[in-house]
A = this chain, B = another copy of it.
Amino acid sequence: MELHAEAIDLVTRSPTVVLNAADARELGVNPLDRVQVRWNGRSVVCIVEVTEELVPPGELGATERVGHLDGMVEVTLAPRPRSVQYVRKKLDGIELEPTEVRRIAEDITEDRLSDIELSAYVTAVYTRGFSSAETLALTEAMTGAGDRLSWDTDVVADKHSIGGVAGNRVTPVLVPIVVAAGVTVPKTSSRAITSPAGTADTMEVFCNVSFDADGIRRIVDEAGGCLVWGGGVDLSPADDRIIRAEYPLSLDPQGQLVASVLSKKRSAGSTHVVLDVPYGEDAKTGSLEEARELAEEFKKVADHLGLHLTCAITRGNAPIGRGIGPVLEARDVLAVLSGDGPEDLRQKSVRLAGLLLDACGVNADADELLESGAAERAFRDIVAAQGGDRDVSLADLTPGEHTHTLEARRPGVVSHVDNGLVSEVARRAGAPRDAGAGLELQRRLGEEVAEGDALLTVYAEHEEKLEEARGLLVGSEPIRVRPPGESVVEHL
């Protein structure tokens, strides 16, 4: 069918065209079906939305994601993407060939799968699992499907955390330590989706974090490393789409996780990676056993790729650091870098940095690099290269002015800090959107408290949001009893 295309202002996740109901009936498409749109030798598969009036018969409304569309286009029913049959095969419990896995990755990268098909893929990998061979094929297919960085050095270090622990702002301390030892670290991080702050949100308190591949190269040339948001480059286009399908049911199938992390590290040109695998009640891996199994699968696939991977299994049963929320975490980071700050954050950062330096074959003492101020100087170089204030001090980092302090109702020893609840309180207070919102933990796991001692303080930029956060604290107990310990339990 020939239709006259016009741009329509509707923001969509996937390329979408809006058709008049009469044309949709004629084509035999229902809302959310796919059509192939061809013009000037180009061809895009689009999702269909249907209208009675917004677009008249004979016309086609093209959203921005379709690309610059104007004039006559040819619209036909899109063939079903080939990978749909491979998803079905996996659902039936049959191991896929590498070419079939690659085809799936390609169709996801090109946005050819509908939400229904994508969800079936994620649940198939979740219920049937991926063999190491399938995971390897997926990692290779996802690597280099988008942007790819390369560096003029043989050793490029990187770090990743499996996540699920509040605070845990290890990255902005670890990267400067490793950079201070002379190793290149082109670190990209995420923004918060369901948590009160991602590393990118915290770094944004200091400087810009949105840079494209050229920007990242310039910063790394200048400062030896970077601490930027991963969304400015597209290291693994399939990944965002897969995460969206995993999120509603909190599915995170092992094979997919391994492929997502390792493909991004390879696309970033990294050669040596330290992986933080926290375990505990609220972390992604519940038990030490599970954490070990996941770490082993990571190592197996990394070995095949020629990527040097060190896995650190860490305790993930409580927040790391005192602050939760962008500004409050930024304060912890700057305090640790200047030789002060929360001991658990300092210890974990130094320990992981040490493992990474060892792996890189660099003879340097992480502790010494931090104590000497070398890491702080490296951090300030990065901040400056990313357009921030090199001389930033704690006085510049002021949290929200509206505060509420939760006090201990009885004396005792802190036995439990509820990661999930603490995160939710920080979000209600406005984090990460309001950078100054969040909370500060005044007592840590194992500390003794007297009745009436401050346990935590909530910070908000807006009075109403503080009230929302307080509402959540009524009748709940984010802080409760057991002894702390070294946070790295083992590494392999």
Cβ of A124 < 8 Å from any Cβ of B?
yes
A-B residue pairs in contact (CB < 8 Å), sample of 20 = A9-B51, A9-B52, A11-B31, A26-B433, A28-B433, A32-B115, A80-B248, A84-B249, A88-B251, A91-B123, A91-B127, A91-B249, A116-B116, A116-B118, A120-B122, A120-B248, A120-B249, A123-B123, A124-B127, A127-B127
Interface residues in A1-49 (C-beta closer than 8 Å to B): 8-13, 18, 21, 25-26, 28, 30-32, 49
Query: Which residue on B lies nearest to A8, using beta carbons?
Result: B54
Give the size of the chain A interface in residues (CB under 8 angstroms).
46
Interface residues in A297-339 (C-beta closer than 8 Å to B): none
Q: Are the C-beta atoms of A114 and B115 separated by less than 8 Å?
A: yes
Binary interface profile of A, 71-102, with partner B (CB < 8 Å = 1, else 0)? 00000000010001001100101000000000
Cβ of A152 < 8 Å from any Cβ of B?
no
Q: How many copies does the complex hold?
A: 2
Cβ of A126 < 8 Å from any Cβ of B?
yes
Cβ of A53 < 8 Å from any Cβ of B?
yes
Query: Which residue on B lies nearest to A114, using beta carbons?
Result: B248
Q: Are the C-beta atoms of B117 and A49 separated by less than 8 Å?
A: no
Q: Specify which chain B residues have a CB less than 8 angstroms from the CB of A51 in the assembled complex.
A: 9-11
Q: A31 is contacted by which of B13, B28, B52, B88 (Cβ under 8 Å)? A: B13
Q: Specify which chain B residues have a CB less than 8 angstroms from the CB of A21 in the assembled complex.
A: 11
Given contacts A31-B13, A91-B249, A433-B28, contact A120 B123 (CB under 8 A): yes
Binary interface profile of A, 399-416, with partner B (CB < 8 Å = 1, else 0)? 000000000000000000
Interface residues in A120-153 (C-beta closer than 8 Å to B): 120, 122-124, 126-128
Excluding A25-B433, A28-B433, A123-B127, 15 further A-B contacts by CB distance (< 8 Å) are A11-B31, A11-B49, A11-B50, A80-B248, A88-B250, A91-B127, A91-B251, A115-B116, A119-B119, A119-B120, A120-B122, A120-B123, A120-B249, A123-B123, A123-B124
7 closest residue pairs by CB, A with B:
A119-B119, A115-B115, A116-B119, A11-B50, A9-B53, A123-B123, A127-B127
